[in-house]
Structure 1
Amino acid sequence: MKKTIFITLLFISPFTFSQKINKIINAKEVERIEKVLSADDMKGRAIFTPGIDKAADFISSEFKNAGLKTFNNADVFRQSFIMLKPKRQSVSATADGQVIDEKNIIIVTTKKDLSINDASGFEKASIKSGDNFFNMVFGFISAGKNYVVTVDTAFAKSFPRLQYFTKQVNPSETSVIFILAATAPTTFKIEAGHSFDTLKLANVVGMLPGKSKKDEFVIFSGHYDHLGVGKVVNGDSIYNGANDDAAGTTAVIMLAKYFAKLHNNERTIIFAAFTGEESGGYGSKYFSEQLAPSQVMAMFNIEMIGTDSKWGNNSAYITGYEKTDMGKILQQNLTGSAFTFYPDPYTEQNLFYRSDNATLARLGVPAHTISTSKMDSEPNYHKVSDEMGTLDMNNMAEIIKAIAISSASIVAGKDTPSRVDTSELK
């Protein structure tokens, strides 16, 4: 009799589970949330605009309605922080006694008056021809050390793009100086003056405390900022960002509602909507600094899941798939389903270190981005045409369900993904 009952329960449970998840995660609810986040009245959710504040209010209300707790017992779901906007006032630099042309030196700093030389204790590094240029740049800027980096002249065309990193800087950042030169200088002297404006930003963060493993965290995240209002194209100037990344933020909200309803997570789950991804990943970097990397067991960063992948429906890819065994765990939990997680097919674009998972991944956390975006041919990427009408709500719902189901053993504390080997970044 006991065996019969056990077999019956095994047969019924998946059906009951399926019914429960379908009531919470479905195309109708996906459409409701996506419609609000990508609406014209959000004005493209650019940072420092009323539109992004409106989006933050909406996400906060959804987190509250889901029954989430605020992060670290904060009064509100907004995780506010400041950035500094530098304006260079002066610069002079010499290397081995020769004056460095201003266009060949880029300084990322929070120092009003910076004056250094080769004896100042700055670490010396270089980016050589053939290196992964932007991967190394990100690494130096996020390392928390003072650097003077010589950039090989092979990157002369890309070098001016480093000005991107001087638009806003984190107050806690160290100074990183990039010099475009054929060889690394033996001696140098660099002096620069800057003024700074203070800018306010906010992530939106909620959590579900774990039952038996409260100090072990699983993160679900996406970024809610986009490009705002820009050049008029065919009568439209609003970059709605329906796929990039209202879709990911919609998934985070849906997952919050789902896990809150289950109310059985052994590990603490953190749900984060990041700001500033389009401007340098400032929101995720600030968020990551509030956590001990050793306590983060896994991070599911969700980016652009509104269109089908190169393999069609019921599929998505995981950036950095080979760097941990997290993808294998997720796929194992989906055994018997129609859904497949594939390795990132766009490895040449270095997506693993280009999204909001990057800061924690660089610290060894199994932090991956899940996406369906065809990065070699996505027709609406960073265009005014990235609107809700281009998205597949049914497929989005299936992707979100797949993330929920595949993450179950990690949330329950039964599986722990391996860590990222950070030696390749040194």
Structure 2
Amino acid sequence: MLRFPRTTAAVAVLLTVAACNTSDKAATSATAIPDVQIPELSLATLQEVTKELSSDAYEGRAPGTPGEEKTVAYIIKKYEEAGLKPGNNGKWTQDVPLVEITAKNATPLTFTGGKTPVTAQYAKDYVAFSYRVQPKTAVKDSDVVFVGYGINAPEKGWNDYAGLDVKGKTVVVLVNDPDWQTKEAKGEFNGRAMTYYGRWSYKYEEAARQGAAAVLIVHDTEPAAYGWNVVESSNTGTQYLAESKDGGAKETVANGWIQLAKAKELFASAGQDFDKLREAAKKKGFKPVALTGVKANFGFDNDISKKMSRNVIGVLPGAKRPDEYVLYTGHWDHLGRCTPVDGDDICNGAVDNASGIAGLVTLAQAFHKAGAPDRSIVFLAVTAEESGLLGSKYYAENPVFPLAQTVGGVNMDALNAIGPAKDIVVVGGGKSELDAYVEKLAKMEGRTVKAEPTPEKGFYYRSDHFSFAKLGVPMFNFGSGDELVEGGVEAGKKAAEDYETNRYHAPGDEYEAITNWGGMMSDLRLYYAAGRMLAMTDAWPNWVEGDEFRAARDKSRAGK
């Protein structure tokens, strides 16, 4: 899956803060944020847990394997030793039912009824898969409609589906937002800073809500922020889903991508100018365009397997307001067995993300020793992040502690293993009232805050914090940048590139390869302070007006 790269800010610290209703207090300035003391954190614990979970005995911690059983048992043991209580109504775990779906025997995608037939070959020209748990997927004689960017944003007065019934039809959509080419991060859809409306996952979700049979996203490298090779590799193997009660019946029959050149060929066959329609789709009021007479046909078989995985939950009850929750999260899973390097086929995932789970345990110890803050602290170790944020998605949709009462949190996904940094890089800045927290944290630790260098790539939407943001919990994302205390930017980028090239998602991500623990410990201080601040204030910061997640949070808080 696509991940947040270290060269932007490898360590994603994700502050989640519950939103406010009209009576809530908003933390919009440093004066609303309490001062906190940071205790000494245990380097020994951080190293011990990282070393254990990344050892070969855990076989890469893949969900549904013996490695999961060992991992879950170990995390529970360390939570108990840290002084936490079971977080799921007396239990340490939350079951997360997963489904594996692997498409096979895919047919070509054919479009008939135009001036000339158009055929797209699977993997080379198009990819497709299904979120429906069924042995066969078939799209037959489906009318084709171009729906621009496929966005329905009531708060912006924008609806590409207005007046259109797409039931049984195949919709063709553009990737990213209508104003993605704007140089500045401002505009109808935040300009070059991608919103969730620009993400492929949103395109699929909205097409399903509209009742479409299938959706095909036109791949264009620049607005997608990755090449066709990434699309192909990510969508032609096994896909993992969180099991649903209806087996995915509310989803489209099929989701997929189509190469830009092939899309242009399709539109020409239908007597349409793709480039002109793409330009028209950038403007509010764009009307969907039917590719008159054109029918789409394709299909594939599905191998289906079900397995049960688990999230692990510990809690430190709050001293004054135990029914308000601050959340710390990290994913315990990794890739399991993977492509061998020099005979080693275990992806140990020491940095990604044994280090994050070690961070959870280290912070749990520190919070317990310092005494419970006003609000409860929840330590959530989630499964199946590497399979598409499935553990966090399942928890967010089936929360043990209501999201309307979840005030905030810190997600730790691959701690900073390259050394202490002078800077903090902010991802998703300006989205919520949380900017003040980051400014205060930076001043406490003598760091400078820097804006995200590539907001058009949508990194904000690619980690576990996003599962909560989608349901309205405001999420902020910041982490160490590349300006190291020792060696500066040049040393930071060199170390980051070395990790990404030689160890990221490979057998080389082992405990022995971590030679600098100073950056992890430095960032853990920030994470502790962030959570403690949120646990000691009575404020409920919200998303800013017009943000894509504000409506969901306002609704959640209003019904609390």
TM-score bracket relative to the smaller structure: 0.7 to 0.9
Pairwise CA distance, 1:72: 3.5
- Answer 1 or 2: which has greater helix percent: 1
Equivalent residue for 2:74, pick from 58, 82, 88: 58
Matched to 1:384, the amino acid is P
- Which residue, out of 167, 173, 181, partners 2:239? 167
Residues 20-99 of structure 1: matches in 2 within 5 Å? 21-22=39-40, 25-75=41-91, 77-88=92-103, 97=113
> In the superposition, relative to structure 1, how do residues 207 and 325 fare at CA in structure 2: closer, same or farther (>3 Å)?
same
> Which of these residues, 175, 181, 200, is aligned with residue 137 of structure 1?
200
> Aligned residue for 2:525?
401
Matched, 1:152 2:272: no
The amino acid that maps onto 2:314 is G
Aligned counterparts of 1:356 and 1:287: Cα–Cα separation in 2: 11
Amino acid at match of 2:548: T
- The one-letter code matched in structure 2 to 1:128 is L
Structure 1 residues 33-42 or 189-198, which shifts more? 189-198
Cα gap change, 1:141 to 1:61, in 2 (>3 Å): farther
Superposition deviation, residue 318 in structure 1: 4.0
The gaps in structure 2 that reach 5 residues or longer are 1-34, 144-164, 181-193, 222-226, 268-289, 483-492, 553-560
- Code of the residue aligned with 1:136 in structure 2: it is R
User: Is 2:131 the counterpart of 1:109?
Assistant: yes
For structure 1, which segment, 190-199 or 405-414, has the greater mean C-alpha deviation from structure 2 after superposition? Answer: 190-199
Q: 1:340 to 1:404 in 2, by over 3 A?
A: farther
Question: Could you report, residue by residue, the CA deviation over 1:61-112 in whole angstroms, capped at 9, with x for unpaired residues?
Answer: 111222323333043x222221112244777776564686562351322242
1:206 to 296, 299, 314: 314
Partner of 2:509: 386
Deviation of residue 377 (structure 1)? 1.9
**Counterpart residue number, 1:11:** none
CA displacement at 1:326 relative to structure 2? 2.1
State the Cα deviation string for residues 273-326 of structure 1 (Å, max 9, x = none).
Answer: 1211112111111111123543332231112223236xx436543432332232
By how many angstroms is 1:329 displaced? 0.9
Letter in 1 for 2:130: V
Q: Which residue of 2 aligns with 1:5?
A: none
Paired letter, 1:408: R
Paired position in structure 1 for 2:497: 377
Cα deviation for residue 354 of structure 1 reads: 0.9
Q: How many angstroms does 1:372 deviate by?
A: 3.8
Q: SS of the residue aligned with 1:323?
A: coil
CA distance in 2, matches of 1:246, 1:346: 27
For 2:55, the aligned partner's letter is A
Instruction: Go from structure 1 to structure 2 and tell me whether the alpha carbon gap of 1:81 and 1:314 turns closer, same or farther (over 3 Å shift).
Output: same
TM-score where L is the length of structure 2: 0.63
Structure 1, 131-140 or 100-109: larger mean CA deviation: 131-140
Letter in 1 for 2:465: N
Q: Is the 8 A contact 1:217 1:297 kept in 2?
A: yes
Query: Could you tell me how far 1:60 is from its partner in structure 2?
Result: 1.2
**Residue in structure 1 matched with residue 469 of structure 2 by the alignment:** 361
State the Cα distance separating 1:373 from its structure 2 match. Answer: 7.4
Cα 1:387–1:153 shift into 2, 3 Å: closer
C-alpha separation in 1, matches of 2:90 and 2:105: 41
Contact 2:474 2:543 in 1 (8 A): yes
- CA 1:127–1:165 in 2, change beyond 3 Å: closer, same or farther? farther
Paired with 2:48 and 2:435, the residues of 1 have a C-alpha distance of: 30
1:306 paired to 2:416 = yes
In the other structure, the counterpart of 2:167 is 121
Tell me whether 340-349 or 376-385 shows the greater mean CA deviation: 340-349
- Give me the CA root mean square deviation: 3.7
* 8 Å CA contact retained: 1:331, 1:341: yes
Q: Which residue of 2 aligns with 1:263?
A: 371
The sequence identity of aligned pairs, in percent, is 24
Q: 1:154 to 1:308 in 2, by over 3 A?
A: closer
User: Aligned pair in 2 of structure 1 residues 99, 193: CA closer, same or farther (>3 Å)?
Assistant: farther
| Alignment partners' CA distance in 2, 1:231 and 1:195 | 22
Map 1:325-340 to 2 at 5 A.
Answer: 325-333=433-441, 335-339=443-447
Mapped partners of 1:330, 1:402: distance in 2:
9
Q: Measure the CA separation in 2 of the matches of 1:385 and 1:401.
A: 27
Query: Do the aligned residues in 1 keep the contact of 2:408 with 2:531 (CA within 8 Å)?
Result: no
8 Å Cα contact 2:421/2:480 also seen in 1: no
Q: CA deviation at 1:356?
A: 0.8
- Stretch of structure 1 that moved more, 131-140 or 50-59: 131-140
State the structure with bigger RCO (CA 8 A, min sep 6), 1 or 2: 2
The question of whether the paired residues in 2 share the 8 Å contact of 1:357 and 1:367 is answered with yes
Amino acid in structure 2 at the alignment position of 1:110: R
Tell me how far apart the structure 2 counterparts of residues 403 and 224 of structure 1 sit (CA, whole Å).
18
Match of 1:422 in 2: 548
Q: What is residue 395 of structure 2 aligned with on the other side?
A: 287
Secondary structure of the corresponding residue to residue 242 of structure 2: coil
Give the corresponding residue for 1:178: 256
Once residues 40 and 325 of structure 1 are traced to their aligned partners in structure 2, the CA distance between those partners, rounded to angstroms, is 43
In the alignment, the residues of structure 1 paired with residue 57 and residue 459 of structure 2 have an alpha-carbon distance, to the nearest angstrom, of 30
Higher mean C-alpha displacement, 293-302 vs 283-292: 293-302
Map Cα deviations across residues 172-230 of structure 1 (whole Å, 9 max, x no partner). 24424336344465665777664522122112122223344344332111111112233
Aligned mates of 1:378, 1:250 — CA distance in 2: 23
